[in-house]
Structure 1
Amino acid sequence: MPIPADAARVDRSLLRDDVFNRLRDAIVDGTFSPGEQLKDGELADWLGVSRTPVREALLRLATSGLVVAVPGRSTTVSAIDAPAVRDARDVIAAMHALAVREMAGRLRTDELDRMRDANRRFAKALAAGDVGAALDADEELHRIPVEALGNHALETVLDHFGPLVRRAERQRFSRGGEESVAAHEQLIELLASRDAQQASAVAFDIWHSLPADGA
C-alpha cells in the first residue's frame, strides 16, 4: 500500500476521532482508492500514532461501509456501492430534516451567524476549486443545528452513515455545487424566520439530491 511521504503527522495527544477523520478523508479524497489494502502498522507510522486508534478507526470505517474488513486477513477500501450510498443518503436527509424542523426559530443569533460564515467559506472554497475545504465548511454548517438540538441518537446515526455520503458530496462539489450556496442561504433564512416546515423541506432536498452513484 503506497503511503504519502509528505503527510503531516497527527499529534499523539489528539483523540481517536482525529485518526478516524484523517483516514475517512483519505478514502473520500482518493488518497486510498477502492480495493486498496490498508495495513494498520503502515497507517500508524504514517499518522505517527500507535496501532490501537488506527484499528479502532478501521472498525468504525467498516461499520460505515468505507472499508471491508476480513477478520485475520485484510482490510480494503470498499468500492462505491450505489444502493448503499442511496440508503445512507436517504437516512442522512431525514435526520437533517428532523434537526432543522426542531430548531427552526430556536437557534441563537451567533449560531445563525456561524452558519452564514461557514457558507461564505464554502462558496470561497468552491470558487477556488478546494473541494476538501468545501466539504469541511459544508459539514460545519449542517452540524450547527444538529449540535444545538442535542439529540444524541440523531448524532449517532449521522456519525455512522455520514462517511459513506461524503463520497457523494465530493462528487457534487468536484463539479461545482454552486447551487448549494443558494440552498444554504435559503435554509439559514428559513431557520431564522421560524418556518419549520419549509426549512425542513429544504434541508431534506439538499441531502436527498446528492448523486448516489458518483456520477
Structure 2
Amino acid sequence: MSTPPPQSRGGDRAEVVHERLREAILSAELRPNHRLVEKDIADWLEVSRTPVREALFRLVQEGLVIQRKGWVVRDHTPAEILEMIEARAGVEAHAAYLAAQRITEAQLTRMEELIVTMEDDSVSRLRLNELNNVFHDIVTESATNAVVAQLHRRTKINYWNLNQPVVFTPADDEIVNTQHRQLVAALRARDGETASRIARQHVDNTGRIIRDALGLT
C-alpha cells in the first residue's frame, strides 16, 4: 500500500482512515477478496486500531467490505453490479437535472477543460479514469443536494476494480467523449430535461460495456 496520509487529530482519524481505505478499494489498490488486517492498517496509517475498526464498520455499511473471519474487500456478485448500474443511472440523471439549474460558470469551465484532457490520446487509462471521476463529481457537487451526493457515492462501482477486465474500445471512447460534450452543452443551456436524458444514456452506455465484460444480460 502507498504512503499514508498526513496525521489528523482526535475524532478526525476514523474519517481519514475511512476515506483512505475507500479510495484504495475504489482505485483497485485493494482488490476484491483482499483481507484487511486491523493491525496492518493501523501501522500503515500510523493510527491506533480504534479508528481503523470504526472505519471498517462504515465500509461494511457502504457495501465495500464484508466480515468473514475478519475483514475482506467485498467482491460484488453480477446481480449486485447490475442493480448498482440501474440505480446509478437514476442518480446521475437527477443530479444532471438539478445541476442544469445550479451549476456555476467556474464548474462548467472546469468540465470543459477536463474534456479536452480526456480526449488526448496520450493520457493513460488510469489517469483517464481519475479525470472521469472528477468530471462526474462536479455534476453531483453542482446539484447541491446532500442526499443525491450520498446516493452518488453509494452507487459508485469503479469497473477497474472488478475481477473481470473491462475494456473500452476506441469506438466506446468516442461515444463517451461525445456524451460528455453533449452533457456540458445541455448544462450551459440550463436544459435540465436534456441534461438528465444524456446523463442516463451515458451511464447506460457504460453499463452495457460492463455487462458485456462480465457476461451479464
Q: Same fold (TM over 0.5)?
A: yes
2:73 corresponds to which of 52, 74, 77:
77
1:30–1:166 Cα change, 3 Å: closer
Do structure 1's residue 9 and structure 2's residue 7 form an aligned pair?
Answer: no
Residue 154 of structure 1, CA deviation: 1.3
2:123 corresponds to which of 117, 128, 145:
128
Identity of aligned residues (%): 25
- Residues of 2 paired with 1:52 and 1:174: CA distance? 41
Amino acid across the alignment from 2:100: A
| Corresponding residue number in structure 1 for 2:25 | 27
- Residues of 1 paired with 2:112 and 2:42: CA distance? 37
| Corresponding residue number in structure 2 for 1:154 | 148
The answer on whether the counterparts of 1:115 and 1:144 sit within 8 Å (CA) in structure 2 is yes
| Corresponding residue number in structure 1 for 2:104 | 108
Residue 151 of structure 1, CA deviation: 1.2
Amino acid across the alignment from 1:128: V
The answer on whether the counterparts of 1:43 and 1:54 sit within 8 Å (CA) in structure 2 is yes
Amino acid across the alignment from 1:54: V
Residue 212 of structure 1, CA deviation: 4.5
Residue 50 of structure 1, CA deviation: 3.1
Is the partner of 1:136 in helix, strand or coil? helix
User: What are the ranges of 5 or more consecutive residues in structure 2 without an aligned counterpart?
Assistant: none
- Residues of 2 paired with 1:37 and 1:169: CA distance? 15
Residue 213 of structure 1, CA deviation: 7.2
Is the partner of 2:47 in helix, strand or coil? coil
Length, aligned pairs only: 204
2:159 corresponds to which of 163, 167, 181:
167
The answer on whether the counterparts of 1:64 and 1:161 sit within 8 Å (CA) in structure 2 is no
1:192 corresponds to which of 159, 179, 188:
188
1:45–1:149 Cα change, 3 Å: same
TM-score, L = length of structure 1: 0.80
- Residues of 1 paired with 2:118 and 2:158: CA distance? 15
User: What are the ranges of 5 or more consecutive residues in structure 1 without an aligned counterpart?
Assistant: none
For the aligned residue pairs, the C-alpha RMSD in angstroms reads: 2.7
1:161–1:123 Cα change, 3 Å: same
Do structure 1's residue 36 and structure 2's residue 34 form an aligned pair?
Answer: yes
